[in-house]
Amino acid sequence: MRRIGLLTSGGDCQALNAAMRGVVKSLLNSGEQIELYGFLNGYQGLINGNYRMLDWADFSGILTRGGTILGSSRTPFKTIREPDENGHDKVEEMKHSYYKLNLDCLVILGGNGTHKTANLLREEGLNIITLPKTIDNDLWGTDMTFGFQSAVDIATQAIDCIHTTADSHGRVFIVEVMGHKVGFLTLNAGMASGADIILIPEIPYDIDKVVKAINRRKEGGSKFTIIAVAEGAISKEDAKLSKKDYKKKLEKSPYPSVSYEIAERITEKTGQEVRVTVPGHTQRGGSPCPYDRVFASRLGAEAGRLILKGEYGFMVGYKDREIVKVPLEDVAGKLKSLAPDATIIKEAKMLGISFGD
């Protein structure tokens, strides 16, 4: 009898359920006896011993369902060693839950912060396997994360819908796409929807260069301009600030987000009307796209195979079009970002897209 725990941590996204289903189906179809325990609401469930036994019926019909049947929450890694509200050691409480159930392995689905804690639990002696979840596609050690392509589809559709109203009114439209630290989502959605300007965290922008691109389109006969802006887009001036000073500036900023500041500065310099659209958490929601359903299922199946072989301490990733296992210590604490001279950036510029640099 193998006893397997499952939990989903951090922000939710599409295909979490599909990935868990892949793990469970591969285990059940192996012919071995399996007991499944789902920890509720991420690491909080593991800390508080809040779980429930699962069976195959729990995973029936969830391939196309967004979100997570186990619930999720954020448990910041930077506070993981601090006592909880009851004065308990959170790491020791997680270990206690693991050993109380006599688990053979804990499967953890999550992003960057989740993987830091997962690797800590591995270092503490627990058998851990992880699956790469994030719409930002910023996890080290994998070319792709599940949830990313579904989010690209939603952000692309949002920008597509803006085109007609922007054309009708001859306005500049900014669509703010999720991505505080990296621009994979904004870049892909912007290119897919024909955005004219794309601003991402990895390439600090010059507002005068942005305005120049807008004026160039106007002089060429275009009535409107579409700008895809990542949440974490940053100006060249602000990029020179220390993290501490930049954080203070954001705290004092009168703008809800960077997009509104960019909009105001464009209006000041051009006199053109600018509208901001923020799709927000719609990018995390809804059913996973077909690509993510297949991709997450493949990752889950490989996780099941590793469990059956007793190979622990790995993230199941995707490199060079193949499903691979990546040591957790190689993943934890590392961020995958876009290189400003990446081939895709060069190709986007060849298509006439401005990055404000």
- What is the DSSP annotation of 262-331? HHHHHHHHH---EEEE--GGGGG-SPPPHHHHHHHHHHHHHHHHHHHHT--SEEEEEETTEEEEEEHHHH
pLDDT, the chain, mean: 95
DSSP string over 69-101:
TT------GGGTTS--TTS--HHHHHHHHHHHT
Residue 261 CB neighbour total at 10 angstroms = 17
The per-residue pLDDT for 5 is: 98
Look at residue 83 in the predicted model and tell me its pLDDT: 86
| Residues 60, 66, 131, 152, CA torsion sign | positive
Domain 2-147+288-331 identical in fold to domain 149-284: yes
Cβ(68)–Cβ(17) under 8 Å? yes
- Sign, CA dihedral 95-134-53-107, equals negative
Q: Where are the domains of the chain?
A: 2-147+288-331, 149-284
- Return the pLDDT at 345: 97
Active site residue 153: no
How buried is 258 (Cβ within 10 angstroms: 0-12 exposed, 13-18 middle, 19+ buried)? buried
pLDDT at 27: 95
Position 274 pLDDT exceeds 90? yes
Dist. CA 300–CA 211, nearest whole Å: 46
Average pLDDT over residues 65-78: 93
Contact 165, 302 (CB under 8 A): no
Per-residue pLDDT for 167 more than 90? no
Q: Which residues pair with 173 in a beta bridge?
A: 226, 275
In Å, what is the CA distance from 36 to each residue of 40, 41, 102, 309?
13, 16, 11, 17
- Name which of 15, 23, 41 is nearest 151 in CA terms: 15
What's the pLDDT at 88?
Answer: 84
Place of tokens 């270092």: 123
Q: What is the mean pLDDT of residues 6-30?
A: 95
pLDDT at 84: 81
- Report the alpha-carbon distance of residue 89 to residue 95 in Å, rounded: 10
pLDDT at 25 over 90: yes
Q: Which of 58, 136, 138, 153 is catalytic?
A: 136
Taking domain 149-284, whether its CATH number is 3.40.50.460 is answered by yes
Closest CA to 126 of 7, 206, 215: 7
Our CA angle for 275, 282, 334, nearest 5°, is 100
Confidence of residue 269 (pLDDT cuts 50, 70, 90): very high
pLDDT of residue 138 exceeding 90, the answer is yes
Does the pLDDT value for residue 14 go beyond 90? yes
**Confidence band, pLDDT 50/70/90 cuts, at residue 235:** very high
Return the CATH class of domain 2-147+288-331: alpha beta
Count Cβ atoms within 10 A of the Cβ of residue 71 and give its class: 0-12 exposed, 13-18 middle, 19 or more buried.
middle
Q: Assess whether pLDDT exceeds 90 at residue 97.
A: yes
The pTM for the full model equals 0.94
pLDDT (0 to 100) of residue 307: 97
Q: Residue 32: is its pLDDT beyond 90?
A: no
pLDDT of residue 188: 98
pLDDT reading at 159 higher than 90 = yes
Strands 34-39 and 51-54: antiparallel
Give per-residue pLDDT as tens, 168-221: 887 899 999 999 999 999 999 999 999 999 999 999 999 999 999 999 998 888
What does the buried/exposed string (b/e) look like for 196-225 if buried means 16 or more CB atoms within 10 Å of the residue's CB?
bbbbbbbbbbebeebbebbeebbeeeeebb
Rg (CA), the chain: 22
Phi and psi dihedrals of 133, rounded to 5?
-115, 125
Q: Which two tokens stand for residue 222?
A: 């275009």
Amino acid at 184: F
H helix and E strand count, the chain: 13, 11
338-348 tens-digit pLDDT: 999 999 999 99
